[in-house]
Amino acid sequence: MKKEFLERYVREDRVNDEPASNYRPVFADALAPRLRGLSPVEAALEVNLWCAEHVTYRFNDSPTSDPLTTYYRGHGRCGEQSVFTVAAMRAAGIPARQVYVPRWSHCDDNHAWVEVFVDGGWHYLGACEPEPVLDRGWFTSPACRAMLVRGRGVDGGYENLTPRYAPTRTWRFHTGLPGGTLTLWMLNDGAFHPIWTMTTDDRGDAALELGLGDLLATVEAPGVWGELLCKGKEGSEFTIPLGRPELCPERVLRFEAPDPPPDFPPPLTAVQQRRREEMLTQAAQRRRLWTEAHRDAADAPDRPGGQGFPAPFTDRAVAATRLPCGDQLFVMGPAGAELTPPAAAPEELLRPQPMPITVSGPRLLAWLRPGEEPTAHFLNELAALDVPFPIPVETRTDAPPTDLPRVLGLDPESLPLLALVGWDGLCHYAGGGYWVGSAALLARLAALLV
């Protein structure tokens, strides 16, 4: 390997913007006995298992902690888990980098994971999420719907990794503004957030390989502004008009997410599945002992301050409604305006997408937690319907299939998890958690499927 590559991905102590810490001797000493005699692939998988034995997911909104702090605390959000895992890989001599989606297109969130360079190429894995093989994680299918995936290149700058994960095309932007700052924005959590910035060439053009959904593109220079909502499913060449747009709160716009993937990774073999279960059990048991032994560190308060994400637009107000298919209906008005999120007609809520499991439809699949809220509210609403539910209802009390909630853009912890499946075996609507009127809405939507 070239010196520059090793300097960046093995010897570099900091992974992103976390504080520097002397983690390397601590991690190297702990890992060395476990990695003797292993191949590079086996070593990478073993390091990730070790990481899962010490750190689990817990959301926080504080600045990213350093790897040693995350190690002793035993928890962190995905950004901290991935920094910790990259640090452990590097301490073991395995080239590694953090990879992330700045903002998902199909749901209101983001995610970070890890790539390792083994057997002559980059391979991905979920940080602190052990699997028996590389290039597998709960985010495999959601990443197919990403507009942009990025990581640090050898030079330390951002590298566009989207084609490794999602269908892409080359987007070309024409602005007529040479040397302008072109920024790409994603609608997420009810605001537009920047995900990539470029400088236009001497003709005012720029190009980038991106996913197949929508983006807002803006271009600016001193005293000049232009913007355009670019519809990725309608083309790949966009001319951005200069001048401030008129913000019309009455105009409902649609921000489309890339389509779901047509198929999914093959299931693990029986042997791999057993190994995965063994790894998860081992990680949970050892992590519990580790956390109990370091309870003072685990309960330490977060550092003050936010994560430092780039600020969203501040010159306008946005109100958005996220549809189950991942698209959004939204309106924009001047900053400070009180806007109402657009309402969606029932037929707009339906959009077929493949399921990672085989289902004979039509039916409503409902994963519930009986005796607890909000399952009880949903069941009460279901029983109170004036007419029988128009399709069979199949209630389940087991855990949802591993990848199902994430594929459908849902939080796996938000039960009841509901999926309307049509005659075609596709999911036409999915929802998680409880909201007033959920059973009645599902009945109206189910009637549209038969």
Give residue-wise pLDDT tens across range 107-163. 888 999 999 999 999 999 999 999 999 999 988 988 999 999 999 999 989 999 999
Amino acid 239: pLDDT:
98
- Tell me which of 22-31, 190-199, 379-388 is least confident: 379-388
DSSP string, 410-447: --TTSSSEEEEE-TTS-EEEEEES--TTHHHHHHHHHH
pTM of the shown model: 0.88
Asked if residue 211 has pLDDT above 90, the reply is: yes
What is the rounded average pLDDT for all residues in the chain?
A: 92
Pairing of strands 56-57, 75-76: parallel
Tens of pLDDT, residue by residue over 255-308, are 999 988 877 788 889 999 999 999 999 999 999 999 999 998 888 888 777 787
Tens of pLDDT, residue by residue over 278-290, are 999 999 999 999 9
Q: What percent of the chain has pLDDT over 70?
A: 100
Rounded CA Rg of the chain: 23
Cβ-based neighbour number of residue 160 at 10 Å: 16
Residue located via tokens 């900091």: 14
What's the rounded Cα separation, in Å, for the pair 334 and 249? 8
- Tell me which of 332-336, 367-371, 416-420 is least confident: 367-371
The candidate with the shortest Cα–Cα distance to 229, out of 316, 112, 151, 143, is: 316
SS3 content of the chain, % helix, strand, coil (to 5): 25, 25, 50
What's the rounded Cα separation, in Å, for the pair 212 and 106? 12
Quickly state the pLDDT bin for 376 (edges 50, 70, 90): confident
Asked if residue 412 has pLDDT above 80, the reply is: no
Strand partners, 210: 169
CB 286 within 8 A of CB 293: no
Buried b (16+ CB within 10 A) or exposed e, 106-116: bbeebbbbbbb
What's the rounded Cα separation, in Å, for the pair 216 and 193? 9
Query: In the sheet that 393-396 helps form, which strands lie side by side, from edge to edge?
Result: 393-396, 363-367, 417-421, 427-432
